[in-house]
Every structure is written in C-alpha cells, then in structure tokens.
C-alpha cells in the first residue's frame, strides 16, 4: 500500500496530471494491485518510472497456516527490513475479520502473551498495517468474498503507536480507497488511558475494545504489567468518559486462564464492573502458546460455567469462538517461533 499523498508527490515530480495519482491509488486500494506492471491503463513509460520510485507492497508473505476447517488463516509476513509480522483472517458465515498487528512485538509484556515475550522491536507504519488487510482481501476476492471487519488486536499495543494506527484506520475507511466503514473497524487496547481519551475525540466512528483479563488490580498487576501505570478504576473512568462523549459501547476482552482469572472472586468483581447497557464482555479461551506452561486453557464446561455465572449476574456476555486455536493464533505466536528460530540482535 502506498499513501495517496506519496503517490501524488511522485506524480507531480514526474510532471503527471493529478488524475494519474488517483488512478494508481484506486488500482492499489480498490483494485488490490500488487505491482505497477498490471496497471495497463497507464503508459508503459510511467509504469516503469513508478516501479523505480515506489514499492506497492510493504510486506512479503512468508508462510500461511490454515485451520483444518478453513475458518481461520494466519499469515506470517516479513517487513522490508526483515522483521516478522503476523495477521489472522477469521471467516464466518457472513463476516470475514482480519486481526491486524500494529507493532513488531510488544513492550507491554502480558504474562500469557507470545508477543510480549518478543519485546518491542519497532512500530509498524500505517502502510504495513493496511497491507495485512489487503493481503487477505486478495485471497477473499478469489473466493467471491470481501473483508467485512478489521480489528487492531494482533501483535502490539495500538495506543503505543497511536498516530500510525489511526492513519491506517483512515486509509481503510477512505471512500476513494478501500472504503471500509469505520463502524466495522475496532481498536483494542490493554488500557492505555490517554489513548482511550484521544480516541473519544476522533471524528471517525471506530469501535473501542479493552483487554481486561482480570477484574482486580492485584491479579491484573501480575497478568498485565501496564496495570501498574493505569489502574482498573482509571481505565473504567476513561471508558465511562468515552461512552459519554461518543454514545458508543465498549467491548471488554477477557482471555480466560484456567484456575487464574475464572475464580468466583474474579467473576464477582467482573460483574460489578462490566455493567450493561454500554459495556459488553467477550470471553476468549486462552490458546496455549507452548511457553513455560504457566497458564492453561479452560475446559469447555469451565468456560460455560463462567459464562453462565456472569450472565446470571446481569453481564452482557458472549464466548468468542476462536477458530484459530489450531493455527497458533494466540497473538505473536508465529512471529515468536520465527524469532526464536532465527534470533535477531
């Protein structure tokens, strides 16, 4: 993906009229072109000149894992400077959702997360984020389908790379480009309070998701180290401000770790904090990441019991089907394997 401003600047340098820049941008963002060679509406000399100056793809796809029933695909990419990045496509009957990474690794270091074990290598650019989506848009197009939703929920903390994440949202939403409705785009944070406040002021109607994973500060300090900076009360106060400002709901994500955060105490505190009508809770069974075995995936009956307990306490709550368990779809898992096989300095 190339930002339309960059295309326009290069076209001006080449002495081309502005409509040529629009043609190229549309071919990339709508036509999902991967090179200039196929843009046969452009003169051959211009295609050659563009190829010398611009690279349409910012990521190279290295490996794709497909879940047995084909409902999830995970692709490991390499950035042009050699960093591993992964994204997941989850297909349902009517929806096709791409889970996008915003950073190479992550500085937050959640206790159960493979991306956290990588540490932060670097922020991704908006182009690198959009290219993860366009990659899956091409494979869906071959099957007569399209990307219906994008969630910024892969490797990285989006609000630690706020400007580029929002630029990616605007590129995806651009009517003259990829044209995905803002309401179909969700940004997920682990609770970066200034980021929640900034998002509330954005003109785009994006969805906010907050990864909770624990309902008491004591447990959350252990699972999500950023909780020592932004305490649960502060996170919930920011969510309340967000709801007041935007009149939109907040989705809370809760990765269920057997025997750790599915206890009666946690369920009780969760029910007290995540109150309808503006808050909804999504329970996600932990994907075992092949790490040191500290955490375990809950059995189906344990997950169902937690769900029932929360619903009985009045929480608006769903269990997220996780089609990716068979394809190492815990965030950062595939990239971590890549780095552990081929460590970088």
Interacting positions 113-132 with ligand SF4 (CB under 6 A): 113, 115-116
Least separation in angstroms between CB 110 and ligand SF4:
3
Closer residue to ligand SF4, CB minimum distance, 57 or 339: 339
Binding segment (CB under 6 A) for ligand SF4, from list 89-97, 150-158, 201-209, 321-329: 150-158
CB of 117 to ligand SF4, least distance (A): 8
Helix boundaries (H) for 160-299: 162-173, 193-200, 217-223, 232-246, 264-273
Q: How far apart are CA 110 and CA 43, in angstroms?
A: 52
Q: Measured from the CB atom, is 58 or 333 closer to ligand SF4?
A: 333
Q: Which x/- pattern over 180-219 shows residues binding ligand SF4 (rule: CB under 6 A)?
A: ----------x-----------------------------
* Residue 224 C-beta: closest distance to ligand SF4, Å: 6
Q: Quick one: residue 144, left, alpha or beta (phi over 0 = left, psi -120 to 50 = alpha)?
A: left
Q: Say how far apart CA 158 and CA 162 lie, in whole Å.
A: 6
Interface residue with ligand SF4 among 31, 32, 61, 109 (CB under 6 A) is: 109
CA 249 to chain centre: 18
Half-sphere exposure for 167 (CA within 13 Å, toward CB)? 17
Q: From the CB of 147, what's the least distance to ligand SF4, in Å?
A: 21
Task: Identify which of residues 103 and 173 has a Cβ nearer to ligand SF4 in the complex.
Answer: 103
Helices assigned H by DSSP within 30-153 = 44-53, 114-118, 126-142
Beta-carbon contacts of residue 140 (< 8 Å; ≥ 6 apart) = 89, 91, 96, 146, 147
Tell me the three state secondary structure of residue 262: coil
Tokens of 135: 């990659």
Q: How far is the CB of 192 from ligand SF4 (least distance, A)?
A: 9
Q: Give the residue, chosen from 21, 27, 39, 110, that forms a contact with ligand SF4 under the rule CB under 6 A.
A: 110
166 binds ligand SF4 (CB under 6 A): no
Q: Which of residues 289-318 bind ligand SF4 (CB under 6 A)?
A: none
Residue 187, classed as helix, strand or coil, is strand
Closest CA to 290 of 321, 328, 262: 328
* Least gap, CB of 185 to ligand SF4 (angstroms): 18
Residue 23 CA to residue 39 CA, distance in Å, equals 9
Strand order in the sheet with 149-152: 59-66, 72-79, 84-91, 96-99, 149-152, 185-189, 207-211, 250-256, 279-285, 317-319
Left if phi > 0, otherwise alpha if psi is -120 to 50, otherwise beta: which for 52?
Answer: alpha
Among 1, 76, 106, 329, the residue binding ligand SF4 under the rule CB under 6 A is 106
Which residues does residue 216 pair with via DSSP β-bridges, in sequence order?
none
235 interacts with ligand SF4 by CB under 6 A: no
* Shortest Å distance, C-beta 19 to ligand SF4: 42
Closer CB to ligand SF4, 67 or 108, in the complex: 108
Among the listed residues 155, 271, 335, 336, the single contact to ligand SF4 using CB under 6 A: 155
Per rule CB under 6 A, is residue 157 in the interface with ligand SF4? Answer: yes
Distance between CA atoms of 145 and 161, rounded to whole angstroms? 30
Kindly indicate which of the ranges 50-58, 101-109, 139-147, 192-200 contains the residues binding ligand SF4, using the contact rule CB under 6 A.
Answer: 101-109
Closest Cα to residue 342, out of 64, 62, 84, 77? 84
Size, binding site for ligand SF4 by CB under 6 A: 12
Question: Of the candidates 67, 108, 215, 283, which one interacts with ligand SF4 according to CB under 6 A?
Answer: 108
- Closer CB to ligand SF4, 31 or 225, in the complex: 225
Q: Which residues are catalytic?
A: 86, 331
Q: Binding residues for ligand SF4, per CB under 6 A?
A: 106, 108-110, 113, 115-116, 155-157, 190, 331
């Amino acid at each position: 993906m190339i930002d339309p401003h960059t295309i326009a600047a290069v076209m001006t340098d080449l002495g081309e009229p502005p409509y040529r820049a629009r043609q190229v941008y549309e071919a990339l963002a709508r036509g999902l072109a991967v090179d200039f060679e196929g843009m046969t509406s452009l003169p051959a000399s211009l295609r050659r000149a563009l190829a010398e100056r611009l690279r349409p793809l910012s990521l190279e796809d290295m490996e794709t894992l497909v879940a047995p029933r084909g409902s999830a695909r995970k692709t490991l990419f390499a950035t042009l400077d050699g960093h591993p990045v992964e994204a997941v496509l989850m297909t349902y009957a009517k929806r096709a959702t791409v889970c996008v990474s915003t950073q190479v690794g992550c500085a937050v270091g959640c206790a159960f997360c493979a991306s956290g074990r990588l540490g932060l290598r670097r922020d991704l650019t908006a182009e690198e984020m959009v290219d993860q989506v366009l990659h899956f848009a091409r494979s869906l197009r071959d099957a007569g389908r399209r990307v219906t939703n994008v969630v910024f929920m892969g490797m990285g903390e989006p609000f630690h790379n706020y400007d580029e994440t929002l630029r990616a949202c605007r590129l995806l939403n651009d009517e003259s480009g990829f044209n995905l409705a803002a309401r179909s785009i969700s940004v997920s944070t682990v609770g970066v309070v200034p980021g929640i406040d900034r998002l509330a002021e954005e003109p785009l109607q994006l969805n906010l998701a907050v990864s909770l994973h624990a309902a008491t500060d004591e447990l959350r300090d252990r699972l999500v180290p950023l909780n020592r900076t932004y305490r649960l009360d502060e996170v919930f106060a920011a969510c309340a401000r967000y709801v007041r400002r935007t009149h939109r709901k907040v989705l809370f994500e809760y990765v269920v770790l057997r025997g750790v955060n599915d206890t009666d105490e946690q369920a009780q505190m969760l029910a007290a904090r995540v109150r309808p009508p503006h808050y909804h809770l999504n329970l996600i069974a932990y994907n075992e990441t092949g790490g040191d075995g500290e955490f375990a995936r809950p059995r189906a009956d344990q997950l169902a019991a937690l769900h029932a307990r929360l619903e009985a306490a009045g929480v608006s709550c769903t269990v997220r089907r996780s089609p990716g368990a068979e394809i190492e779809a815990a965030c950062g898992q595939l990239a971590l394997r890549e780095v552990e096989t081929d460590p970088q300095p």
